[in-house]
Amino acid sequence: MHSQYSSNAGWCSPAAAIHHRLAVACERMSTAPFLLAAKGDRAAHTPVWFMRQAGRSLPEYRAKRGDGSILDAIKQPDLAAELTLQPVRRYGVDAAVLYSDIVVPAHAVGFGIDVAPGTGPVCEAPLRCAADLARLRPFDPDADAPYVGQAVKILSAELPDSVPLLAFAGAPFTVASYLIEGRPSRTYEQTKGLMHTDSALWHSVMQRLVQHATASLRSQLDHGARAFQLFDSWAGALSRADYDTFVLPHSTAVFAALAASHPQTPAIHFGIGCDHLLESMFAAGPSVLGLDWRTSIADARRRMGDDLVVQGNLDPALVLAGVETACAGVDAVLADNRDEDGRQHAGHIFNLGHGVQPNTDPAVLQAVVDRVRECTAQ
């Protein structure tokens, strides 16, 4: 039996040793631009990373990834780690985001969901009644998806101290919409119908998905991730009243659980088309609010306070239009982030307002990174 020994404090348990190593790593990374900005502290430059930065826009990704479901690639820790590292090497971004998918927990517990290339998450038998909840059993990361933690451990050893790894999970509503609709939707008619016709079942489903998200994020953080993002990509389809009644309590539960188990860890909340929900999404408890391109950074701070830390929010379509247009878009985002003294507000993480599109030219994304650094270097 192996023991852990500290020359200063004598013997300590393996769990204590792990927490000690994480604390040391956290101290080393305290000057990482991403972590500073996430706390609202001034960094050497505005940090930048991209949602879906690891993906089909990269030729090295296409060469390595192969065909088939993304879930097959995620189950190979070495491959998942390599795909996570590719955009860090290419662009020099300030954060790595784990190569994974928001439906991993539901898939891993055997609900019957896959990610169809060109379509997205699909279920052969969507969740439509109480009996279907039995297929959505609680998620045990170590038993059900050990490959995720293994990939995180590899990345924690490979990444430089200045580049933290971001964990992520799907917010309960967005994952529920896939399980209930059975595939991506524009109307969410089945999801909204279940909310209003069987609220008891709805809340039971959401509580189970809170457990999935919380367990997944905790495991990723325990294995070395230094921040996390909760993706509620499709919450913008809801009215404010429906969001507050049917979604907010459950998203709040995720943030509260992670704040209790991993205090001071940067927590990002992001959704598409959610300008009408921003106050509620912020009330859920994140430390950073992700904005899409429809919301002005300055307006978000007017509404929620000047100390609001934001992430975003270049329109991905501008990146598709070429270097000149993309860089003009960067300038507009940075202008929107200026404080009352005309300086860049410290609480800003530069990102797109949604994910990188597959047909994006990597040279344009590199130009975006370079422009952000050039314009914000202290």
Q: What is the pLDDT of residues 189-208, one digit of tens each?
A: 999 999 999 999 999 999 99
- Model pLDDT, residue 378: 83
Q: Which of 65, 301, 371, 373 is catalytic?
A: 65
Residues 44 and 18 in one domain: no
Helical spans, DSSP H, in 123-198: 141-144, 146-158, 172-181, 189-197
- Model pLDDT, residue 260: 98
- Please give the single-letter amino acid code of residue 163: V
Range of the domain at 18: 1-30
Residues 332 and 215 in one domain: yes
Q: What are 136's two structure tokens? A: 């959505």
* Mean pLDDT, residues 357-373: 97
Residues 95 and 15 in one domain: no
Q: Which of 94, 99, 101, 373 is catalytic?
A: 101
CB 100 within 8 A of CB 80: yes
Supply the pTM of this predicted model. Answer: 0.91
Residues 340 and 202 in one domain: yes
The answer to whether residue 52 is catalytic is yes
The answer to whether residue 299 is catalytic is no
The answer to whether residue 343 is catalytic is no
Condensed to tens digits (0 to 9), the pLDDT of residues 94-105 reads: 999 999 999 999
Give the Cα separation of 256 and 286 in Å (integer). 9
- Model pLDDT, residue 376: 97
Residues 207 and 223 in one domain: yes
Residues 82 and 150 in one domain: yes
CA of residue 366 relative to chain centroid, distance: 21
Condensed to tens digits (0 to 9), the pLDDT of residues 29-53 reads: 468 999 999 999 999 999 999 999 9
- Model pLDDT, residue 69: 86
Q: Which of 52, 90, 218, 226 is catalytic?
A: 52
Where does the pLDDT of residue 14 fall: very low under 50, low under 70, confident under 90, or very high at 90 and above?
low
Q: What are phi and psi of 230, to 5 degrees?
A: -100, 115
The answer to whether residue 65 is catalytic is yes
* Mean pLDDT, residues 209-233: 98
Q: Give me the number of domains the chain comprises.
A: 2
* pLDDT tops 50 at residue 179: yes
Residues 43 and 84 in one domain: yes
Q: What is the CATH number of the domain that holds 145?
A: 3.20.20.210
* pLDDT tops 50 at residue 184: yes
Nearest to 121 by CA among 65, 175, 51, 61: 175
Residues 285 and 151 in one domain: yes
Residues 81 and 21 in one domain: no
Least confident of 2-6, 118-122, 296-300: 2-6
Q: Which of 99, 147, 178, 188 is catalytic?
A: 178
- Model pLDDT, residue 3: 35
Give the Cα separation of 76 and 64 in Å (integer). 12
CB 264 within 8 A of CB 244: no
Least confident of 23-37, 50-64, 90-104, 300-314: 23-37
Residues 110 and 16 in one domain: no
Q: Which of 56, 128, 137, 338 is catalytic?
A: 56
Where does the pLDDT of residue 27 fall: very low under 50, low under 70, confident under 90, or very high at 90 and above?
low
Average pLDDT value for the chain? 93
